Structures are given as structure tokens and as C-alpha cells.
Structure 1
Amino acid sequence: EFGDLGFHCRPVHEVTLAYDFEIGKYEVTFDQYDTFCEATGRSKPGDSGWGRGRRPVIYVSWWEAIAYCNWLSQKEGLPVAYRLEGEVNEGQLLDSSGNLTTDITKVVGYRLPTEAEWEYAARGGNNSKGYKYSGSDNVGDVAWYTSNSGSKTQEVGKKAPNELGIYDMSGNVWELCSDRYENYSSSAQTNPYNYSGSGRVFRGGGWGSDVVGTRLVFRAGIDRTGADNEMGFRIARTVP
């Protein structure tokens, strides 16, 4: 499932983000996702008996995560960011007029972060101190992982934040990204986003990950229908 770490996080390449974006301070919680389920008549995902509330939501697929994003956009009067599962051009991004786009800067509504946005934020953005984990070189300071999690999720925001004040980007739950999972290109890229294919990237490590799996560079992929108790998400949006 995870492939080879050394292969998939290389080659090292330069990425430029030529726009501003916002990203969630916390992973989306059960409180937030359960409200969405109640409002839309969806069945609520399981919690493995660990409790709900401010724990990160689990057992949510990529399709369900983008449905949550669209619901939140509509609730706040923003244009939706995605065509949902079963719709024409399902899973593709939409601009402010509802037209298909692959230009992430034209998407106004809430969405999953691109992989490049996720890594930029996890590394501390312009405030980055070059840590191995999100906010520290000491994994236990910032992450719930195999040695301290009790083999389950923990409430968001209980560990130290990273340089941008963002919590749990290492550990707790793996986080889904907008784009497909593929091998990196060695060439420099600006505002990268790649839609095609069914696999989607997830990043950051979870409660069952070891010190390698929680490292910032670790990346893996999952099918858009896949869901388990170590997978969650946080939301992002382009600043208009």
C-alpha cells in the first residue's frame, strides 16, 4: 500500500505556489462531519468505538470528503469546488462560474489541499525551520503515532502546532489531498495539480505510523472509494 519511501518521495524538485491559500488549523472533526451528515441525511461514519466529538473524522472516503467540502461551500455562500461522485465529470474541480478547471487558483470553494499546498503548510510555509516532522524534529512533540497514540485517534490540537500554528499535520490521521498519486517529476513546477486517474494522495502519517511514516516527505496513495480508521482530511481554499 505504501510503496517504497525512498522512491516515491524523490526526485527532489522545486515547486512554486504563486497564489495565497488557507488551510485548516485542525483536521476535520466528527463534530463537524456529523453536522454535515445530519444536514444531508447521510449515514454517519463509524468511530471504532473510540468516541467522536473533537477526534478527527475517520472512515471517510475521498468522495465523501469532497461532498463535505461542497456542502460547506454552499452553507457559506461560496461556489462549490467539485463535481461529486456520479455527476458528469465526477471529481473534477470547478471555477467560480461552475466551469471545469485544472487551475487551482480559479477554484473559490472549500476543497482538499493539493499535495503541494499540504507539504508547504506542513513544512511551516515561509516560517519553515526545516524540521523532519510538522513543527519539530522530535516526533512525540507534534504527532500522535504508534508509540504514544494508544492505537487510536486523539482529539485534534493536543500536540504542539507547527511554525504556522497548524496542528496534527504529522500523525493522528493520514490526510487526503485533491490530486492523484503518481511518481514525482524531476522538473520544477508552478501551482501543480493533477486530476487524472483514480488514486489520490494522502500525507502526514497516522496513529499507527512509525517515525518514518510520520515524516513530512512520506506519501502514499489510495483509491477514491477507500476509507479506514487511520484516514481523515483537512480543508483548504484559494484566497480570492
Structure 2
Amino acid sequence: MGNKLSIKNYINTVRYYLKTEENEESSILELTDNPDDTKTFISSFTGMQFVLIPAGEFDMGSPLEEKDRSDSESPVHKVKINTSFYLGKAAVTQRQWKKVMGSNPAYCKGEDHPVEMVSWRDVQEFITKLNEKEETDKYRLPSEAEWEYACRAGTQTRCFFGEDESKLDEYVWHAGNAGNKTHVIGCKKPNPWGLYDINGNVWEWVQDEWHENYNGAPLDGSAWEDGSSPDHISRGCSWLCDTWFCRSSGRFRRKTENRLANLGFRLVRKL
């Protein structure tokens, strides 16, 4: 009985410190209930948590009647994701970046906050080094289509939780509630597929080059990299965004060398 109580007290203590770290924000950094679940993957080197995204198809982009839309989100087109993949439950953290790269470039410091102030090329270097350290080739950025597919999680509404903007605070760190900073990953509710902060905290780099619209976009979910643009794309909004921008189809053009305090990334791990 004594040993059982000691183990229980230890686990509760670990949970307590994980919850109270970073201004008492509780997050997905707590102990994973079922680490052997085939629907999740945890990196043994960085501790990154991934969730399985099933293959499927969806309508990418925003319809003409969608509130606050942009013409760059047109035309709506059907994309078929043929292969399931793992996607990070949250953005890569400063702790995880430092584990691979040896330094922390972030402006809003916090080990378990998203890393930011990283360019698209910085992220490519991180991916190369992470693959080398784990002796694999499975890590990469998501394509823009994969990102939107995972964000929507089977929905086609303006936001994955529906059209009611009053629910935004339950899911998203944005300019109205973030207090001018990033926050520990996973403090808000996840989307239906278990992804945290997908529409807030930090913008997220994707693999694709920027195109002014979706005319000619790949229909198989692959990244659009035809060499026609020097710029890339971020998705998802951030702690600096007004609420109207926090939509599933929102996208933003970025200079490839942009390093911003509200721009990070999450990774794909191939099966």
C-alpha cells in the first residue's frame, strides 16, 4: 500500500509542477494517459507529441459568402489526402528547438512556449538536424493543404468549432486575450482531431511557396513548389491577430527570411 501511495504522490507532484509552470498554465505537457496508442506518436529525442491524421478529402479554401475571407483563398477546390500522417499536437516549443539546435531565438521566452523568430530556412535546417539525430527522414513541414485539412478536422464552417465567434476564447490565443505574448502550448481546447493552438498562439510555416490564388493548385495534398515565387506561406493566426482573422482558410504571405515574434511551426511525421 505504501509503495502505491508513493507512486501516486509522485505522479500527482509531477502533474502539479507541469500545471503550475509558466504562470500556472496547464497544458498537453502533462503525462500522456496512453503513450502506446497507435493514434499518437511521441518523439523519444524531443518529446514532441503527434496525432494521427486520417486520409480523406475536403473542400479547400473559402466560399465567396464567407465572412472576412480573402480572394487568395479562392477558388474552393476538392483535395484528396491519400495517405494518413502524424501532425504535431502543437507548435514546436523553445525547449524542443534548443534540444536540436542548441540555442533559443525566441522573443517571448518560455521553455514550453512555441519557438518563434525562426525563418522558413531556419525551420528547414531544424528538420534536417532532427532527422539526422533520430536517423530517419520522416520529419517535414506540412503542406498548406495538409495543414488546412487537419485544422478543419472534417468541418467546412468558418472555424472548426462553427460560426459562433463567442467560442473563440475557448480555443484560441489572439490579440484580445493573449496579453501581448505567446503562451504554453496546449492550454486551450483542441480541435476535433486533437490539435492545440491550430488557430492561434503563433502563425505556422508550411512548405508551400506563395501563390496569389488556388488556380492550378495540386489536388493531392502535396506542397505547391513550382519555383514561381520567392515567398512562402504561414497559416493559423497568432497572439497578435484580431479575432476576425482566426479562420480555417486564412493564409498569409511571408518573406522566406521573415523572423517574427508571432511566427513558428509544427511538424509532420510521416508514417
Secondary structure of the structure 2 residue equivalent to 1:15 = strand
Q: Aligned residues, how many? A: 198
Separation in structure 2 between the aligned mates of residue 206 and residue 171 of structure 1, nearest angstrom: 4
* Aligned equivalents of 1:174, 1:45: Cα separation in 2: 16
| Cross-structure match for 2:219 | 189
Superposition map of 1:110-125 within 5 A: 110-124=139-153
Matches within 5 A, 1:40-189: 43-47=103-107, 50-79=108-137, 109-124=138-153, 128-135=154-161, 137=164, 138-182=167-211, 183-185=213-215, 189=219
Distance 1:19 1:207, change over 3 A: same
Tell me which of 11, 14, 18 is aligned to 2:78.
14
Corresponding residue of 2:266: 234
Q: Which moved more, 1:65-74 or 1:162-171?
A: 65-74
Aligned-residue RMSD, C-alpha: 1.8
How far did residue 46 of structure 1 move? 3.5
Greater CA radius of gyration, 1 or 2? 2
| 1:202 equivalenced with 2:246 (yes/no) | no
Residue pair 2:217, 2:224 contacting (<8 A) in 1 also: no
Q: Percent identity?
A: 32
Return 5+ residue gaps in structure 2 as ranges: 1-67
Structure 2 residue matching 1:224: 3-state secondary structure: coil
**Superposed displacement of residue 134, structure 1:** 4.2
Partner Cα separation in structure 2 for residue 170 and residue 232 of structure 1: 12
Which residue does 1:100 correspond to in 2? none
- Determine the C-alpha separation between the residues in 1 that align with 2:217 and 2:114: 35
More helix, by proportion: 2
Cα deviation for residue 214 of structure 1 reads: 1.2
Asked whether the equivalents of residues 30 and 54 of structure 1 are also in contact (C-alpha less than 8 Å), the reply is yes
DSSP-derived class of the 1:221 partner: strand
State how far apart, in whole Å, the 2-side matches of 1:29 and 1:188 are.
Answer: 30
Query: Residues of 1 paired with 2:217 and 2:115: CA distance?
Result: 36
Give CA-to-partner distance per residue, 1:101-144, whole Å, 9 cap, x none.
xxxxxxxx2111000000011111xxx24443344542111100
CA distance in 2, matches of 1:180, 1:163: 28
Contact 1:13–1:186 (CA under 8 A) maintained in structure 2:
no
- Amino acid across the alignment from 1:25: K
Q: Classify the secondary structure of the residue corresponding to 2:70.
A: helix
Look up the equivalent residue of 1:204 and give its one-letter code.
G
Deviation for aligned residue 1:22 = 1.1
After TM superposition, the score normalised by the length of structure 2 is 0.69
TM-score if structure 1 supplies the norm length? 0.77
User: How far apart are the structure 2 equivalents of 1:36 and 1:160?
Assistant: 28
Q: How far off is 1:188 after superposition?
A: 7.4
Matching of residue 219 in structure 1 with residue 219 in structure 2: no
